[in-house]
Structures are given as structure tokens and as C-alpha cells.
Amino acid sequence: MSHNDRRLHREAALVAGRPAPHIPPRRVKAHRIKDDGEAIAVARELAREFAIGAAERDRERRLPIAEIERFSQSGLWAITVPKAYGGAGASAVTLAEVTAIISAADSSIGQIPQNHYYMVEALGLAGGEAQKAHFFARILDGDRLGNAFTEIGTKTPVDFKTRFRQQDGKLLLDGQKFYSTGSLFAHIVVAVAKDEAGRVHLVFIDRATPGLDLVDDWSSFGQRSTGSGTVTFDDVEITPFQIVDHDGVFERSTPMGPFAQIIHSAVQVGIARGALAETISYVRAHARPFFELSIEHGYEDPHTIHAVGDVSIRVHAADALLSRAGRLLDVTRENPTEGTVAAASIAVAEVKALGTEVAQLASTKLIELGGTRSTLESYGLDRFWRNARTHSLHDPVRWKYHHIGNYYLNGLLPPRHGAI
């Protein structure tokens, strides 16, 4: 594609969406969370705040800019920075629980930092010492990383046309991304791009860099306020210091894959928790008894009681699998071998599979047990199902069952990539 073609392509994308919100440079340093216990306590406090207005944000497709600023300034976006670099070095168990707590309140907000955490982990596994010192310090101070990973119009979601090349003594990056969750809110956009040899890298680019454009054109029926739209790069000048090898973290045994997936799993578990809590609250307050029954309240209906019991068991099972997966992932992060990585990947796949099913079940039962009035737009209860269904498409659960079955039945280790 010629430079002029790239420019026209970029301009077409910009016309199709809304301008990206203005994210001013960070003025104050974020709070630094000391340990896992503080991280959980802060997440619970924020979840209570984020639950207020979640339905309205979804209905209006309003980007949670103030909420994301509050979220990152709380220090939670830096909890996985290693202790050696001044961070809390939080466990995978804690990161998953923080994500589930926030996602139960608003799953769009819960998903937004997923790629931020992914890039922090990638820096730790593949970054040079100078890169780690520089970017970890910025993250601890409150800078947010955004994702520019997947493209549309390619054969598969992991085919990349975005590339950087040497030209006139400069390194120039060109391409266009979609599903760029987090980038609208980011201080640093992280592009996944190939070099001239076809090797995949992560490129860390400051938001204000000339040639980088962000477009708010996300129009999905679910996860409406994640801002997962388009990022374009038009002859963006970069330096070797901004580049981190991405292929290498999957060419050897590392926890990169299950680390990425446990956060997505926690989003689903959080949606399930939120839908169950909303079901109990709504049924207790509003559900009417079936006319064949001689009872006073809808919550006395034996079928409703049974359904809530069934969903509760399944949500608690997903909770337990999430914690188990986190523990196995923490073992892997301490001792990454072929065996520990495989065990963690399968454990995370198990919770992703069950969590996805339970989130959709719980969100469906919310409407079923709530009755016709629960469908009114003013309640916004349909957002739980829409969010669960939309987020589940990030990577197909049907392939989780395939790899889980092959692992237990045939002793086959799962592949190493970011989707298991």
C-alpha cells in the first residue's frame, strides 16, 4: 500500500467514528498499593462506586473516562509491577479477584485494563533492563497502556499487516488496528507489529506521537463502553528502545498465555457474580408470584428458589476454579516449565469455559425470574447478557474444551499462544 493509499485509508476510518476523547498528560502520581490485601480492599471500594451509573453508561454508550482515571490513580493498574521495580508484585490470584470484583460492578471497566496488564507482563518477560526500569516507573506513576493488537480483514485474528521498516535512516510504523480495548484511555499505545523479517513485536508509542490516530467507532451491542475501536499508524517514527520482542515469549515456556486468559476468565466470572446479585436483589424487590400459587411474594416461588440455588452453585464453582487457576499460574510464574505452563493453561481454560457458560446462564435467569418488567430499558438488566455474550467471543470457548479434553484424555499439552 502506497503512502497516499494509507493516508486515504486512515482518513476513511477517522470519518467513520467519533473523535477520541482528550486524555490530558498525567499531573499527579498514582497511589502505590503495597500488597495483595490492599489491592482487594481498594477494588471493593471502587466497585461500589463503579456500580453506580453502570446501566446508564451502557445505555448511553458513554466512555467511563472519569472512572478509568479513578481506577488507575488508585494504584490497581500497577499491582503486577515486580517488587524489584517498586511494585506490589501481586499474585495472579489477586489480579484475577480484582478483575472479577470490578467486572461484577461494570464489566466494561473490568475489561479495559486487560491488555495493560498483558503488556506489563510482556515487559517483565521480554523487556530489557532499561526498558523495564523506564516503563515500570511510568506505570507506577499512573500511566496507562492501551492495546493495538488485532486487525480486521486478515485471514485470522493473529495475522498482522501492521509493520515497521527502515527508511531514510528512520524506523517507521504503518498499519490499522481494531478491537483496541484501552487505547482511547491510554497514555501509551502498544502496537503489535511485524518487522521486515516478519517477526512480531510490541511497540510502545506515546499517545501524542505524530501519525498515531485513535477513533471511537466501537458499536457492539455489548461491552459498549470499552471503547474498543480503531487505531491507525501512518509513518509513525519509532526507536529500537520502544520495541519489545513478542514472539519470544511464546517460543519458550512462559506464563504469558494463561496470564492473558485468566484476566478474561475473571471478567466472565465477575459478570456471573453481578448477574446473580442483581437477580437476588430484583426478585426480592419486584418479582410477583405465579397466580397458581397461594403465596405472598415472588421469592417464595419454589421454582425461583431452585433456580437461584442452581445458579449460585455454578457461580461458586466458577469462583473456586478462578482461585485454583490463579494458584497454578503463580506456581508457573515462579517456575516456568513446559509442565507448569501446560497445567496453568488448562486450569485457566477450565475456568474460562465454565465462567463463560455461567455468566450467560446467570444473566438469562435474571430476566426469566425477574419477569416482564425486568426487560424495561430503565433497569438496564439486559446488559449482563449482552456483555457476557460479547466478551465471550474474544476467543472461542469451544476450543477450550478441545484442549482440555486432549490434555486429560491423550496427554497432549496445549499450544503456547495468548488464547489459552
pLDDT in tens, 288-303: 999 999 999 999 999 9
What's the average model confidence in pLDDT over 108-135? 98
Say what the pTM is: 0.95
pLDDT of residue 25: 86
In Å, how far are 56, 161, 186, 213 from 380, measured between CA atoms? 8, 39, 28, 32
- Helical ranges in 64-165 per DSSP H: 65-73, 92-105, 107-111, 114-126, 129-141
- Helical ranges in 287-418 per DSSP H: 302-334, 338-370, 383-392, 397-410
State how far the Cα of 130 lies from the Cα of 73, in Å rounded to an integer.
Answer: 24
Residue 158's pLDDT band (cuts 50, 70, 90) = confident
pLDDT of 14 > 80? The answer is no
pLDDT of 2 > 60? The answer is no
326's torsion region: left (phi>0), alpha (psi -120 to 50) or beta? alpha
List the one residue out of 194, 152, 150, 151 whose CA is nearest residue 173. 194
Q: Distance between terminal CA atoms of the chain?
A: 34
* Cβ-Cβ contacts under 8 Å for 84 (sequence gap 6 or more): none
Q: What percent of the chain has pLDDT over 90?
A: 91
- b/e for 363-394, b at 16 or more Cβ within 10 A? bbbbbebbeeebeeeebbbbbbbbbbbbbbeb
pLDDT of 40 > 90? The answer is yes
Q: Which pairs count as long-range contacts for 2-6, CB under 8 Å and 24+ apart, including other chains? A: 3/235, 6/174, 6/234, 6/235
List pLDDT tens digits, range 252-261.
999 999 999 9
State how far the Cα of 153 lies from the Cα of 87, in Å rounded to an integer.
Answer: 39
